[in-house]
């Protein structure tokens, strides 16, 4: 009867300790709410095709293909993202190992003076002797409250986010290389316009000199014609400077100085620039690596909260040891030195001065931050895609109007030159007509370059060929 009562007391004490140890985490909840694609409020089409993972090949330029492949092999920014991925994968392996049994071995050898007034009897008391322990220790945490499982899921979420970051870095790098390459193309075309203008103004100077020699014009017209040449040569030099700067930027992205000269890049008309993407796809957010990374970080932060809550509960382990222990090393490996033990071990928090609640508050704040980062990524994704689609649609209309305006300006310029040659018009009329033509030619190059740039922006905005399913399957 006494043993029964003692057992009840021990059980009651254990229950009291269990309840005392389970500190409350009430009142600590996340505040942020995740947005969805419905927040886009943009026209959508489920028929929009997926972007190819090597979308830059659609421009049909092997030189551009080679530059991007070179950049993807050795760019430092991409290397940093890949290093972070390896780090996250290592953390995942560590978290997974915590769920498994742990076994370690130990060997302790000590030379000790034993007290004369202690537990040890003579002749050991007061003597100096060696003692040794050779032992295996094992432990296995029984994850009743899913603490280790949550830690593993959090690590997996962080690893998936890191992988998505690598994919996003690849898309951004390919887009930046392509845009820098097309900047070279734009400068080449603008340089061609400037050189054509220089040649044209040289011909005008010869005409003016002939008319001045014939007494049909004055030195005023001659000086006006001569002054136009240095201005055009300065424009040529400025464009050469822009071309070198563009080559330097491209070389930095590719990671080597051997990038194409201006003369080696194709003409802008030789690059396909048409697109037929009228609206945003309904699965836009699933195609964006940066949005996927933000979503994985939200899930990882949610698992961190589960882990923080599980720490309020008892920690239950199975522990055991098996080994040899003796005083005097000569009998260490005798069977009489054998010792072993096993049993459960329970650890539970009773009073921690608010440490666990503070940790949970911090993890909850991390989740709120991750959610707001995700919301920002969603809004930015929709904004970028809508801008790219809108720009392409508008640029097509602008280019049509510009082509008509350039054709009219070219016609007006030819008439002004003919009238000047016939003595029916002034040289000022020629200059005015030529300025209009020059502006239209420059505008035509800029609009064509903007079409290419906007198309690259659209490829990037639509995910650059990213596929979450393919990424998960590959890893």
Q: H-helix or E-strand containing 289?
A: helix 289-310
Q: What angle do CA 41, 179, 469 make, to 5 degrees?
A: 55
Distance CA 313, CA 21 (A): 7
Contact 467, 163 (CB under 8 A): no
Q: Assign 47 a pLDDT band (cuts: 50, 70, 90).
A: low
Confidence (pLDDT) at 353: 78
What is the chain's mean pLDDT, rounded? Answer: 82
Residue 313, classed as helix, strand or coil, is coil
Query: What are the E-state strand segments in 234-393?
Result: 280-281, 315-327, 338-347
Structurally, what CATH architecture does the domain formed by 102-142+316-347 represent?
A: Single Sheet (2.20)
Confidence (pLDDT) at 48: 55
Q: Average of pLDDT values for 262-289?
A: 75
Q: Assign 469 a pLDDT band (cuts: 50, 70, 90).
A: low
Distances (CA, A) of 158 to 98, 297, 310: 17, 6, 19
Beta bridge partners of 130: 111
Name the residue among 302, 342, 359 with its Cα closest to residue 146: 302
Contact 67, 183 (CB under 8 A): no
More confident residue, 367 or 212: 367
Beta bridge partners of 344: 318
Confidence (pLDDT) at 8: 55
To the nearest whole percent, how much of the chain has pLDDT over 90? 18
Distance CA 15, CA 4 (A): 16
More confident residue, 459 or 470: 459
Provide the residue ranges of all domains of the chain, joining segments of one domain with +.
30-99+146-313+359-474, 102-142+316-347
pLDDT in tens, 214-236: 777 677 777 777 777 888 888 88
Distance CA 51, CA 66 (A): 20
* CATH entry 1.20.1600.10 includes domain 30-99+146-313+359-474: yes
Neighbours of 168 (CB within 10 A): 23
Confidence (pLDDT) at 371: 93
Q: Assign 372 a pLDDT band (cuts: 50, 70, 90).
A: very high
pTM, to two decimals:
0.78
Confidence (pLDDT) at 58: 87
pLDDT in tens, 142-197: 878 888 888 888 889 999 999 999 999 999 999 999 999 999 999 998 888 888 88
Q: Average of pLDDT values for 133-143?
A: 87
Q: Average of pLDDT values for 251-268?
A: 87
Please say if the pLDDT value at position 357 is more than 50: yes
Among 106-120, 316-330, 424-438, the range scoring the smallest mean pLDDT is 424-438
């Amino acid at each position: 009867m006494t043993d029964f009562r003692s057992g009840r007391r021990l059980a009651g004490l254990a229950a009291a300790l269990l309840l005392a140890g389970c500190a409350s985490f009430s009142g600590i909840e996340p505040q942020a709410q995740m947005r969805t694609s419905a927040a886009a409020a943009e026209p959508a089409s489920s028929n929009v095709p997926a972007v190819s993972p090597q979308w830059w090949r659609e421009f049909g330029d092997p030189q551009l293909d080679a530059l991007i492949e070179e950049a993807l092999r050795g760019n430092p920014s991409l290397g940093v993202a890949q290093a972070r991925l390896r780090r996250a994968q290592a953390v995942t392996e560590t978290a997974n190992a915590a769920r498994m049994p742990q076994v370690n071995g130990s060997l302790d050898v000590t030379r000790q003076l034993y007290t004369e007034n202690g537990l040890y009897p003579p002749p050991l008391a007061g003597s100096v002797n060696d003692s040794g322990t050779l032992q295996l220790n094992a432990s296995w945490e029984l994850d009743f409250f899913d603490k280790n499982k949550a830690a593993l899921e959090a690590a997996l979420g962080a690893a998936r986010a890191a992988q998505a970051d690598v994919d996003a870095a690849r898309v951004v790098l390919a887009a930046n290389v392509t845009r820098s390459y097309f900047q070279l193309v734009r400068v080449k075309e603008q340089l061609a316009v400037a050189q054509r203008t220089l040649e044209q103004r040289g011909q005008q100077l010869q005409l003016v000199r002939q008319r001045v020699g014939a007494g049909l014009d004055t030195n005023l017209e001659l000086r006006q014609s001569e002054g136009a040449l240095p201005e055009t040569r300065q424009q040529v030099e400025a464009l050469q400077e822009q071309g070198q700067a563009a080559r330097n930027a491209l070389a930095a992205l590719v990671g080597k100085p051997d990038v194409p000269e201006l003369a080696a890049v194709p003409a802008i008309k030789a690059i396909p620039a048409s697109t037929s993407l009228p609206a945003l796809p309904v699965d836009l957010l699933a195609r964006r690596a940066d949005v996927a990374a933000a979503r994985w970080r939200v899930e990882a932060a949610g698992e961190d909260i589960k882990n923080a809550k599980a720490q309020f509960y008892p920690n239950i382990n199975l522990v055991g040891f098996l080994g040899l222990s003796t005083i005097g090393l000569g009998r260490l490996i005798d069977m009489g030195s054998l010792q072993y033990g096993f049993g459960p071990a329970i650890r539970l928090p009773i009073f921690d001065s608010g440490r666990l609640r503070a940790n949970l508050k911090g993890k909850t704040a991390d989740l709120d931050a991750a959610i707001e980062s995700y919301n920002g990524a969603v809004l930015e994704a929709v904004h970028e895609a809508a801008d790219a689609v809108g720009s392409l649609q508008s640029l097509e209309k602008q280019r049509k109007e510009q082509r008509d305006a350039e054709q009219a300006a070219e016609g007006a310029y030819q008439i002004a030159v003919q009238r000047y040659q016939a003595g029916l018009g002034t040289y000022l009329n020629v200059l005015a007509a030529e300025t209009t033509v020059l502006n239209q030619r420059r505008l035509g190059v800029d609009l064509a370059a903007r079409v290419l740039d906007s198309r690259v922006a659209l490829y990037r905005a639509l995910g650059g060929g990213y596929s979450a399913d393919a990424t998960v399957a590959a890893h």
